[in-house]
């Protein structure tokens, strides 16, 4: 049985329930969702009660598209923080306690309602702050990490490969978020996933993808690494054979021509210049649910770039023109993917201290491809504004949605 409370100040009532549960130890979990400005806020904030140095704190996990951020807030400051977030930044909140659950829904900064439900949890979780962080590169990854010279025989990370080890783990954190959004991290779906890593090089990421799917999540998966250099293909194939990874394979070929089956995901990191566009087009052609690219070497648009007002005085500086051409190149790629029916995100995946080429574009297929006139018009308008005559993905503009059989 639900009990609805129409209230004058719903945020105050909800805040009082949070404060009460924190005080009487019935608090289980706090969740803030429905950000007012999604691009400027975490998609979701989850709070749990922990003890740090014998002091109660609200441990907050801010979930973003590519990473989670954690911060700890003294319980004495929780009420002020919650009041600042609700209404201004988030329109929905859920409080789980061991006695009742409370759901806040806001239509505006002050108007809404609080609804109570039977509790979903009967016991409060541990207050220990020492929650082990998930590590994708555990002892089960020792064989392939050692074969790739990332770790020593003892399992210790080689000093010269410390950055590479962190990079691999960070890639897997990003992939885990994307896989969750695709529905792949759930054990409810057991059909084999097929993923291709284009331009895989020495295979660090290819082995890592295979490891997390097969060994960590125990999901049936076929991973294909594509590389133009035969020597690298032979070396990575030998390593895969040595660790018994029969569903991990490496083939010689280019992004455009390598023979590939229908894919669930296509990944291409640091494909040079229009190689990124080749990867996007190939992923769309193979009906991949997930496409992930990290562009590099933006050369195609710079010679075509106009200097429209009021940007002309800024773009007369070469460095500004170069950066703008890179932003527009990647912006158009995101728009082309949206035209193809994908939901896209563009974000930094490594610190700019390590490399200025630090943008990643992720795309998850959501809608009918080539059906949105508005999506197509956004591409045309952006090209027209900057005087761009040709882009490698232009052939996609001629495509039409597939007719139902």
Q: Are residues 175 and 309 in the same domain?
A: yes
Task: Mention every residue, 6+ apart, whose C-beta is less than 8 A from residue 125.
Answer: 28, 29, 48
72 domain residue, yes or no: yes
- The CB density around residue 53, as the number of other CB atoms within 10 Å, is 6
Q: pLDDT 10s digit of each residue in the chain, 405 long? A: 444 444 468 999 999 999 999 999 899 999 999 898 877 778 889 999 998 877 889 999 998 876 788 899 999 999 999 999 998 899 999 999 999 999 999 988 768 899 998 888 888 887 765 544 557 898 889 999 999 999 999 999 999 999 899 889 989 999 999 998 998 865 555 689 999 999 999 999 999 999 999 999 888 899 999 999 999 999 999 999 999 998 999 999 999 999 999 999 999 998 888 999 999 999 999 999 999 999 988 888 889 988 999 999 999 998 999 889 999 999 999 999 999 999 999 988 754 444 455 789 999 999 999 999 999 999 999 999 999 999 999 999 999 887 654
103 domain residue, yes or no: yes
Q: Are residues 274 and 352 in the same domain?
A: yes
Q: Are residues 300 and 206 in the same domain?
A: yes
Q: Which uninterrupted H or E stretch holds 269?
A: strand 265-272
Q: Are residues 246 and 282 in the same domain?
A: yes
Q: Are residues 150 and 236 in the same domain?
A: yes
Give the end of a domain, one of 72, 87, 117. 117
Distance CA 194, CA 187 (A): 16
Q: Residue 187: its pLDDT value, please?
A: 52
Give the end of a domain, one of 87, 117, 147. 117
Q: What is the DSSP letter of 308?
A: -
Question: What is the reported pTM?
Answer: 0.68
124 domain residue, yes or no: no
Strand 359-365 relative to strand 342-348: parallel, antiparallel, unpaired?
A: antiparallel
Q: Are residues 110 and 146 in the same domain?
A: no
285 domain residue, yes or no: yes
Q: For the chain, how long is the longest CA-to-CA vector?
A: 71
Q: Are residues 106 and 182 in the same domain?
A: no
Distance CA 394, CA 379 (A): 9
Give the end of a domain, one of 64, 83, 117. 117
Q: Are residues 237 and 296 in the same domain?
A: yes
CATH number of the domain bearing residue 225? 3.40.50.150
CB 284 within 8 A of CB 369: yes
Work out how many domains the chain is built from and give that number: 2
In three-state secondary structure terms, 19 is: helix
Q: Residue 4: its pLDDT value, please?
A: 45
Helices (H), ranges, 58-156: 75-85, 142-147
Q: Are residues 79 and 172 in the same domain?
A: no
Q: Residue 387: its pLDDT value, please?
A: 94
Q: Which domain holds residue 44?
A: 3-117
Distance CA 274, CA 278 (A): 6
94 domain residue, yes or no: yes
129 domain residue, yes or no: no
Long-range contacts of 210-215, Cβ-Cβ distance < 8 Å, separation of 24 or more: 210/245, 210/247, 210/248, 211/136, 211/137, 211/140, 211/141, 211/144, 212/136, 212/172, 212/175, 212/176, 213/184, 214/245, 214/247, 215/140, 215/141
Q: Are residues 256 and 374 in the same domain?
A: yes
Distance CA 373, CA 400 (A): 11
Q: Are residues 155 and 292 in the same domain?
A: yes
265 domain residue, yes or no: yes
402 domain residue, yes or no: no
Q: Are residues 326 and 201 in the same domain?
A: yes
């Amino acid at each position: 049985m639900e009990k609805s409370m129409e209230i004058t100040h719903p945020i105050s009532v909800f805040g009082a329930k949070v404060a009460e549960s924190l005080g009487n130890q019935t608090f289980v979990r706090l969740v803030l969702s429905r950000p007012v400005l999604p691009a400027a806020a975490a998609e979701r904030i989850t709070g749990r009660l922990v003890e740090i140095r014998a002091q109660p704190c609200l441990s907050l996990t801010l979930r973003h598209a590519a990473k989670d951020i954690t911060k700890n807030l003294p319980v004495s400051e929780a009420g002020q923080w919650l009041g600042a977030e609700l209404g201004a930044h988030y329109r929905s909140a859920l409080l789980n306690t061991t006695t009742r659950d409370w759901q806040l829904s806001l239509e505006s900064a002050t108007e809404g309602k609080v609804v109570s439900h039977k509790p979903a949890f009967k016991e409060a979780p541990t207050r220990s702050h020492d929650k082990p962080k998930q590590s994708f590169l555990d002892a089960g990854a020792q064989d392939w990490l050692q074969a790739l010279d990332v770790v020593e025989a003892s399992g210790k990370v080689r000093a010269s490969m410390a950055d590479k080890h962190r990079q691999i783990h960070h890639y897997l954190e990003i992939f885990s978020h994307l896989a969750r959004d695709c529905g792949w991290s759930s054990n409810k779906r057991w059909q084999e996933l097929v993923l291709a890593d284009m331009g895989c090089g020495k295979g660090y990421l290819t082995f890592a993808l295979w490891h997390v799917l097969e060994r960590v999540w125990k999901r049936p998966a076929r991973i294909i690494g594509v590389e133009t250099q035969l020597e690298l293909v032979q070396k990575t194939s030998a390593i895969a054979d040595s660790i018994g990874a029969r569903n991990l394979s490496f083939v010689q070929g280019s992004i455009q021509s390598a023979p590939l089956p229908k894919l669930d995901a296509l990944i291409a990191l640091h494909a040079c210049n229009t190689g990124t566009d080749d990867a996007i087009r190939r992923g769309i052609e193979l009906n991949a649910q997930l496409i992930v690219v990290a562009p590099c070497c933006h050369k195609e648009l710079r010679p075509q770039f106009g200097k429209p007002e009021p940007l002309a005085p800024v773009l007369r500086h070469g460095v500004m023109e170069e950066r703008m051409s890179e932003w527009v190149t990647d912006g158009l790629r995101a728009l082309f993917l949206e035209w193809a029916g994908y939901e896209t995100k563009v974000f930094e995946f490594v610190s700019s201290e390590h490399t200025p080429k630090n943008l990643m574009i992720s795309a998850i297929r959501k809608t009918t491809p080539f059906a949105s006139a508005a999506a197509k018009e956004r591409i045309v308008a952006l090209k027209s504004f900057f005087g761009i005559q040709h882009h490698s993905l232009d052939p996609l503009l001629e495509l039409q949605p597939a007719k139902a059989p």
